[in-house]
Structure 1
Amino acid sequence: MPDTSPIVRIDHLRLDRGGRTVLRDITLSVPRGSIVAVLGPSGSGKSTLLSALTGELAPTSGTVEVLGQPVPRAQRALLELRKGIGVLLQGNGLLTDLTAAENVALPLRMHTRLPPALIRRLVLMKLHAVGLRAAADAYPRELSGGMARRVALARALALDPPLMIYDEPLTGLDPIASGVVMDLVKRLNDSLGLTSIIVTHHVHETLPIADHAVVIANGGIVFSGTPSALEASTDPLIRQFLNGEPDGPIPFESAAFNSRAEVA
């Protein structure tokens, strides 16, 4: 019987940073095999929510379950859980003195005892999956922004994680590269049977591939539903965010700046 339980389950979660509450009463369930877009303006707490999913930030109250278990606090158990979570950071995080292939090989060398020849074969498979097998021996400085992002994606997939988390995957990319990355996310999610959570403020590029959309603003979830329902919403807060209007229910002032805490 296939596992039909949610791959992520968040219940009445409250997250504090810098002595203040960033997010409150967050309840969310992520079905296996889905693509969920977590949207919101800068400083709304999207990345703070990711920190709770990966165990970097402990809940003040409420619960977070990932891959069928509560996110552990013990370091060894947490490291084991993280092997099942692939994370694509907005800055790529590629090591500049290593080739594309060597960057992708890092997780395999750190977390497995596979022989070098098998690691090389797996690395080339991952690079092929993102369309960059020919760039295996190139260094990050020799890659375009879109290519570097795809190498980082291949590295995030190295251990075959069932859950992928994308933190602002389109930052710094031009419209063409953005389209390539989003198409790749969708294709890999379907072909590899992944579940993907995309945290972004790039609404119009992300909604076409998403099964479910969540909007975070003013410290909580203000919308949860299908992308079509989001685009049809007449809620003034949702319209302000989708249309990029400066005036409305979402204040322009950065809460992160005022509290001297990074909660983007």
Structure 2
Amino acid sequence: MTDSNDAIAVRFDAVRLDRGGRTILSGIDLAVPRGSVTAVLGPSGSGKSTLLAALTGELVPAAGRVEVFGQAVPQRQRALLELRKSIGVLLQGNGLLTDLTAAENVALPLRAHTRLPREVIDRLVEMKLHAVGLRSAADLYPRELSGGMARRVALARAIALDPPLMVYDEPLTGLDPIASGVIMNLVSELNDRLGLTSIIVTHHVHETLPICDHAVVIANGGIVFSGTPGQLQASADPLVGQFLRGEPDGPIAFDSARRTEAA
């Protein structure tokens, strides 16, 4: 009989997260099923990036437990580095090295973490760029790429090591509506085609919900909603309604003094 835990890719169990002596999030209970696309939504400064830092081991929980594929996120550096090989992260700033071509940027994790021959790495890079529709851009430098193209190169690099878990940190920041649609379609297609589990950390609600299986809303120091996208859009909760409609007044306080991070 299969353990039910095998069906869960990421689990937060009664987690409390502190920064600078202040509690940012508390009482966080979250289970992300394998193979799913989960959106972690919330206004800027709500704690989304803090949640992501706990998932990747950059922030140790003040209380509770974070698990990735059934194992607690380790604190020992060597074990943590090993875990991070199984997590692909698409950063909102792309993080491309400007003096390297698109292909060279995608090759970086393969050269750093494998001993594969150059010809094998070159073939893998070609495959990853093809997966994001940019094989013809292999020899271009970041300055020669549009914002959407640069984001796709960064995505190709994030999947270079075939991680089973992908985390997208504000993947639509700075993109126009067309480029945003391309990125969201890619996230969905890659999740299905490669058998990934994806977590999208974002405040772009309406662009993200159509491709998601599950949605979580973070506000006021905790999770205020967890359910399907349909349930989220049908919610009568005033707090959820304020967030979805982008209203300045309501249960979610807009107070810059309380913000401790940029989510």
Query: What interval of TM-score do these two structures reach, taking the shorter chain for normalisation?
Result: over 0.9
Listed one character per residue, the Cα deviations across residues 100-137 of structure 1 (whole Å, up to 9, x for unaligned) are 00000000000000011100000000000000000000
Asked if the contact 1:101/1:124 (under 8 Å) is kept, the reply is yes
SS at match of 1:64: strand
Distance 2:90 2:243 in 1: 24
May I ask how many residue pairs the two structures share in their alignment? 261
SS at match of 1:73: coil
Distance 1:42 1:18 in 2: 18
User: Quick one: structure 1 residues 68 and 35, their matched pair in 2 at CA, closer, same or farther if it must change by over 3 Å?
Assistant: same
1:262 to 2:261 alignment: yes
Asked if the contact 1:217/1:250 (under 8 Å) is kept, the reply is yes
Distance 2:173 2:252 in 1: 22
Distance 1:22 1:139 in 2: 39
Asked if the contact 1:214/1:225 (under 8 Å) is kept, the reply is yes
Distance 1:111 1:67 in 2: 21
2:167 partner letter = I
- Structure 2 counterparts to residues 1-264 of structure 1, below 5 A: 4-255=6-257, 257=259, 261-262=260-261, 264=263
Asked if the contact 1:240/1:248 (under 8 Å) is kept, the reply is yes
SS at match of 2:188: helix
- Calculate the TM-score normalised by the size of structure 2: 0.97
Moved more, 4-13 or 181-190: 4-13
Instruction: Provide structure 1 residue ranges, at least 5 long, that are not aligned to the other structure.
Output: none
Distance 1:256 1:139 in 2: 40
User: Quick one: structure 1 residues 10 and 209, their matched pair in 2 at CA, closer, same or farther if it must change by over 3 Å?
Assistant: same
- CA drift at 1:254: 2.6
Asked if the contact 1:130/1:150 (under 8 Å) is kept, the reply is yes
- Calculate the TM-score normalised by the size of structure 1: 0.97
Distance 2:257 2:238 in 1: 20
Distance 2:183 2:256 in 1: 29
Distance 1:256 1:168 in 2: 21
Asked if the contact 1:5/1:68 (under 8 Å) is kept, the reply is no
- CA drift at 1:263: 5.0
SS at match of 2:136: helix
Runs of 4+ in 1 over 4 A off after TM superposition: none
Distance 2:262 2:257 in 1: 8
- CA drift at 1:262: 2.2
User: Quick one: structure 1 residues 34 and 255, their matched pair in 2 at CA, closer, same or farther if it must change by over 3 Å?
Assistant: farther
Listed one character per residue, the Cα deviations across residues 151-202 of structure 1 (whole Å, up to 9, x for unaligned) are 0000000000000000000000000000000000000000000000000000
SS at match of 1:148: helix
SS at match of 1:37: strand
Instruction: Provide structure 2 residue ranges, at least 5 long, that are not aligned to the other structure.
Output: none
1:245 partner letter = E
- CA drift at 1:256: 5.4
2:261 partner letter = E
